[in-house]
Chain A
Amino acid sequence: MSVLEIERLTVSFHRRDGLMRRIAIDCVRDISLAVARGEVLALFGASGAGKSLLAHAVMGLLPANALAGGTMRFDGRVLDARAQAALRGNRIALIPQSVAHLDPLATVGQQLRWAARRARHPMTTPGAVEGALSRFDLAPAVAGTFPHTLSGGMARRVMLAMTTASGADLVLADEPSNGLDAENTARVFRCLKSFAEAGKAVIVISHDLSAALKIADRVVLLSGGQVAAEERAGAFAGDGGALSTAYARLIWNALPQNGFSRVRHEA
């Protein structure tokens, strides 16, 4: 059964055009998707395609001038602002892009304990923090350090450890490979895959299709705020003959590691 169902989600922004006119701009239009337990769904799109807005809409973290419409359900129940506030940080977790989202004034160990306490699974047994860190290839000594001493890859894994500590059922990872080298990317993706194997639903937001394909079961391709295609991850192979939509084939064949084909794309 789906953990998260999104039906016809639209996010628009109001802005003033000149002095008197106010116009609404749809940044996300009519997006419907669902993700089930044990599944990794990749959301792929260029910057500006609406990926992050979608994640923020799920978390209830849209900016104040955004207007969202549509229905979202979490575990079958309507996910409204109150439900979002209650579920955020314990049953739904967002892994943000940068270290800037960690508290610079608290040690990694403290922040892990806070994350666990927020989700009402406090880490009381000695060694619990170190154990949580070691699951993500982080040395026990990391618990005593401050975020600014961490590399990008380590910070990303600390945030993954915090997500695990919270025991969330739905994990959203925003550009988890951004700024990481191949080795760290592989590590982070392995951790995300292990979430799915442990029965969580995982949504990976990425503009790097080939990286996301390594762990995804399904891929939703976004373009201009809309769902342009939805494909099985396995269909992205060879010349893309197994893909069901022309758009996905275009994208696949335009990748430099495939055809790098030149197509006139009328946006």
Chain B
Amino acid sequence: MTVAFERPSETPSLDKVGPVLVATGIAVLLLAAILLAAWLTGASGLASDLQARLQPPSFQHLFGTDMFGRDVLARTIKGLALSFRIGFLAAGISVIIATCLAIVAASGSRLADSIVSLLTDMTMGLPHLVLLILISFALGGGTTAVVIAVAVTHWPRLTRILRAEILQVRNADYVAVSRNFGKSRWFIARHHILPHLIPQMIVGFVLLFPHAILHEAGLTFLGFGLEPGKPAIGILLSESMRYLMAGKWWLGLFPGFLLLVAVLCFDVIGNGLRALTDPRGGRS
């Protein structure tokens, strides 16, 4: 028998499990290592040692030291741990905001839907960074301000997805059947709608997380975020700029690279999860 024609054999969305697993592995290791190291080292290593300023990487200081003789590795770990905490909080709050607004929009009131749509369009229409700077500045900077600024700018996309999902399920034939069986609104929300929302919320969270971290770092880099005393990645990077021309490359390279790895991993995981949780993906 001859095979006269052949098509790509892979289900496009579901075949990328390999990279997702690798990314998950790296992300979990990174997360665990950094949180653990930050907790174990406490304040040690953050102290300045003016005898050992701006030293290139060595066995004693793997990532080198900065202009005050502080260990760059210790500061990077502290910075990432801080970033993770802020990202986790901001992404979590964002998901909660998105869920609440989506439920309000899809609740059946046309007015509520229009208001949420208007809010979504306005937030999406404004440049992200401008809004972030404005909110963070208005709240006086610092950790809380950054968390709030990131949280209130990242919900619109997820709100749209969740709203569409709720509307689709609410109008499904099986919900009409359930209503006809005398099931309460609570039963339908809990047993028919929620199981469709939770995967979207998890995916939304995982995708928002790297965004939140990047924006926290960006905001801090520009000077509108965390206090300069904190060892945040944004501050490390902005400090390193001054010494980049002097050839002190290790100040920016290591923190920047670790941030990039963390962000990329979570992005890959989020996209992989989205493909895996789509009930339509890969089923014909």
A84 vs B7: C-alpha distance when bound (angstroms): 13
- Interface check B10, CB cutoff 8 A: yes
Task: In the complex, identify which listed stretch (A10-18, A127-135, A153-161, A166-174) lies at the interface while the others stay far away.
Answer: A10-18
Contact B276 A19 (CB under 8 A): yes
Contact A81 B282 (CB under 8 A): no
**Minimum CB distance partner of A81 in chain B:** B5
Given contacts A19-B17, A27-B284, contact A8 B1 (CB under 8 A): yes
Task: In the complex, identify which listed stretch (A56-64, A94-102, A144-152, A223-231) lies at the interface while the others stay far away.
Answer: A56-64
Contact B4 A13 (CB under 8 A): no
Given contacts A15-B14, A15-B283, A19-B276, contact A68 B1 (CB under 8 A): no
* B6, B8, B11, B14: the one within 8 Å of A69 (CB): B6
**Minimum CB distance partner of A18 in chain B:** B276
Query: Interface code A72-93, partner B: CB below 8 Å = 1, 0 otherwise?
Result: 1000001111001000000000
- Interface check B3, CB cutoff 8 A: yes
Q: How many whole Å from B57's CB to the nearest CB in chain A? A: 39
A interface bracket (residues with beta carbon within 8 Å of B): 20 to 34
Query: Interface code B271-284, partner A: CB below 8 Å = 1, 0 otherwise?
Result: 00000100000111
- Interface check B109, CB cutoff 8 A: no
Contact A78 B284 (CB under 8 A): no
- Interface check B182, CB cutoff 8 A: no
The binding surface of chain B is classed by DSSP as loop
Number of B residues, CB within 8 Å of A: 18
Q: How many whole Å from B16's CB to the nearest CB in chain A? A: 11
Contacts of B11 in A (CB 8 A): 13-16, 22, 65
Query: Interface code A101-128, partner B: CB below 8 Å = 1, 0 otherwise?
Result: 0000000000000000000000000000
Interface residues of A in 223-256 (CB under 8 A from B): none
**Minimum CB distance partner of B11 in chain A:** A65
- Interface check B12, CB cutoff 8 A: yes
Contact B1 A71 (CB under 8 A): yes
* A22, A27, A68: the one within 8 Å of B5 (CB): A68
- Interface check A70, CB cutoff 8 A: yes
Interface residues of B in 226-276 (CB under 8 A from A): 276
Contact A72 B4 (CB under 8 A): yes
Contacts of B3 in A (CB 8 A): 69-71
- Interface check A66, CB cutoff 8 A: yes
Contacts of B276 in A (CB 8 A): 16, 19
Query: Interface code A24-59, partner B: CB below 8 Å = 1, 0 otherwise?
Result: 010100000000000000000000000000000000
Contact B17 A13 (CB under 8 A): no
- Interface check A20, CB cutoff 8 A: yes
A79 vs B12: C-alpha distance when bound (angstroms): 25
Contact A20 B5 (CB under 8 A): no
- Interface check A186, CB cutoff 8 A: no
A21 vs B2: C-alpha distance when bound (angstroms): 28
Contact B17 A62 (CB under 8 A): no
Query: Which of B11, B14, B276 has the most chain A CB within a 10 Å cutoff?
Result: B11
Contacts of B4 in A (CB 8 A): 70-72, 78-80
Q: How many whole Å from A95's CB to the nearest CB in chain B? A: 23
Given contacts A19-B276, A72-B4, contact A67 B9 (CB under 8 A): yes
Q: How many whole Å from A249's CB to the nearest CB in chain B? A: 32
Contacts of B10 in A (CB 8 A): 14, 65
Residues of A at the B interface (CB closer than 8 Å) are 7-8, 13-16, 19-20, 22, 25, 27, 60, 62-72, 78-81, 84
**A65-B7, A69-B6 given; 7 more Cβ-contact pairs under 8 Å:** A14-B11, A16-B276, A25-B284, A64-B8, A65-B8, A71-B2, A78-B4
Ranked 4 nearest A-B pairs via Cβ: A15-B282, A65-B11, A16-B14, A80-B5
Residues of B at the A interface (CB closer than 8 Å) are 1-12, 14, 17, 276, 282-284
Can you give 22 contacting A-B residue pairs, CB < 8 Å?
A8-B1, A14-B11, A14-B282, A15-B283, A15-B284, A19-B17, A22-B11, A62-B7, A65-B7, A65-B8, A65-B282, A65-B284, A66-B284, A67-B6, A67-B7, A67-B9, A68-B5, A68-B7, A69-B6, A70-B1, A72-B4, A81-B5
